[in-house]
Amino acid sequence: MAVSPSPTLADSSGSTDSNCQCCVVGGGPAGVVLSFLLARRGVAVTLLEAHQDFDRDFRGDTLHPSTMELMDQLGLADALLELPHTKLRTVSMQTPSETITFADFNGLKSRFPFIVLMPQSEFLKFLADEAAKYPNFKLIMGANVQELIHEDGLCVGVKYRTAEGSEECRAPVTVACDGRFSKLRKLAGLTPVKTAPPMDVLWFRMPRNPDDGVDLTFRINNGHMLVMLERGDHWQLGYLIIKGSFHDVREQGLEKFRESMAALAPELVDRLETITDWKQITPLNVEASRLTQWSKPGLLLIGDAAHVMSPVGGVGINYAVQDAIETANVLSEPLLKGNVTTADLDLVRKHREFPTKVIQRFQEVIQKRIVQAGLDDSQTFHTPWFLKLPIIRNLPVRLIAFGVKRSQLKQ
């Protein structure tokens, strides 16, 4: 039986803004990278960001080799690395009885055998400035999307509000890149399938001395876990707790919290008194989820709007960037020709769904075998045997660095 061709979304051109071929909602990594890639191909793109700047506390700040290779392909890697950053080459795990190297990126066959630690706001501003060099790129800050615009069963844009009042952005395709709490996902009536990671994370900062270490370290001791990320003049620290237990941790008081920190990172004892108020600590409710349907006619969801990642492996930014690459690869030509179909939108999901499932399964294994065991104070933590075998240990290194496969941008 013949299959009817998918409707051409641009057929609704009578009700779309002729000056905008793609409306991107959300100025995070997925939205900014996609907008830049589309503008570079000549697509007229409007990027709507709800805030007035890109600066947020404790956003993911890791640019993995896959993202750096994209920047290199675009001729932007060297300029990007001129911004303040540090390079993470190994990840170690330390328990009271041993220290092992969990991941070593030095052996990767890449110009970038490391993870770049850079404030996400700097990365986003850098790319937005590059996109602004194209006359077909438009960025509107402080644009709070209120509703989707539908005509004849198609999404043909959004209504948003700024300080100046209500506005519309109409386009044949709207791409939702508005993060884990995606408003467009709710407006579209799409519900993700959720899993339940065993932990939440308390993020906070502490001064860093010049002679402190650099590489990422996981500390596990007596049912407590700590992640240490070097941020130039300070440490960004992630204190892992059993899911939903933040109230209990607060009830025990800051002194108890500092005692636990001293056991996990004794080299920071002289700085623990800088933590004087719970307001200095930001709790992250960890979740992982993914949509089974990433699109509706005229609307596509990518990045955290389509799949929320656990912080394990720090892969969230890089999977969002890979989504953006795939979206640009699939949609650039149809957008320019004005013949995007619903099948084109679903093709993005078909290409990106399997890599998403693989990395989320990998995160589930790490959460169960390391995080859940490390937070169990009823028994002594033992390093899983597979982390001690280099041949097995190299597999997650490549998965963290590149995903299931390297993403290549079509020229």
User: What integer is the mean pLDDT of 245-265?
Assistant: 94
Kindly indicate the confidence band of residue 91, based on its pLDDT and cuts at 50, 70 and 90: confident
H/E stretch holding 402: helix 390-402
The token pair that represents 30 in the structure block: 């997925």
Residue 399 · residue 359 · CB < 8 Å:
yes
Ranges of each domain in the chain? 10-195+287-402, 199-242+245-284
List the single range of 73-77, 171-175, 240-244 with lowest mean pLDDT. Answer: 240-244
List the single range of 6-15, 228-237, 379-388 with lowest mean pLDDT. Answer: 6-15
> b vs e for 105-131, b when ≥16 Cβ sit within 10 Å of the residue's Cβ?
beebebebbbbbbbbbebbbbbbbebb
What is 10-195+287-402's CATH topology? FAD/NAD(P)-binding domain (3.50.50)
Residue 297 · residue 155 · CB < 8 Å:
yes
Share of the chain above pLDDT 90, in %: 64
Residue 65 · residue 358 · CB < 8 Å:
no
Identity of the amino acid at 149: I
What is the reported pLDDT for 141? 97
DSSP letters, 34-93, are HHHHHHHTT--EEEEESSSSS--TT---EE-HHHHHHHHHTT-HHHHTTSS-EEE-EEEE
H/E stretch holding 195: strand 193-195
Determine how many CB atoms are found less than 10 A away from the CB of residue 82: 9
Res. 3: pLDDT tops 90 = no
What is the reported pLDDT for 339? 94
Res. 320: pLDDT tops 90 = yes
* Residue 163 φ then ψ, to 5°: -65, -25
